[in-house]
Amino acid sequence: MSKLTLGTHPFLLGFEELERLVERTAKSGNDGYPPYNIEQASATSYRITLAVAGFAEGDLAITVEDNQLVIRGRQSDDSEGRVFLHRGIAARQFQRSFVLAEGVDVGEAIMENGLLHVDLTRAVPDSVVQTINIRKG
């Protein structure tokens, strides 16, 4: 007996990309930094919030690449000439990726009190009923 995968199930026509999408999401890295929240603001809008304390707006880059929201942070190292007795605040770079469904658009990004908010909206398609004519063969 052969194993049916999600993309090859006979009732799921046209979903071949879904399995690749799940694999890509699993590989997107899950190191926990920076921590983030995902909220559903309404039936068609979402907000991703990342805790980016210590990062300035110029240290962050937000791009959409191949239906993937990518948020990168890189702080400049300003520790030259400073002597730390304890350094618990890391100045490390990060990359967070979120795979977006078709029809999800990235809105504005707001930096507030060390939190980066990125708003997303999902377009609601019109309900379409299509009638298929049957032709005599």
pLDDT, tens digit (0-9, with 9 covering 90-100), for 40-86: 999 999 999 999 988 999 999 999 998 899 999 998 777 788 898 99
Per domain, the residue ranges of the chain are 1-30, 32-77+86-122
36 vs 81: which has the higher pLDDT: 36
Give the CATH number of domain 32-77+86-122; options: 2.60.40.790, 3.40.50.2300, 3.40.50.300, 3.40.50.720: 2.60.40.790
Secondary structure class of 10 (helix, strand, coil): coil
Give the phi and the psi of residue 109 in degrees, each rounded to 5: -120, 135
Look at strands 104-112 and 45-51 and give their pairing.
Answer: unpaired
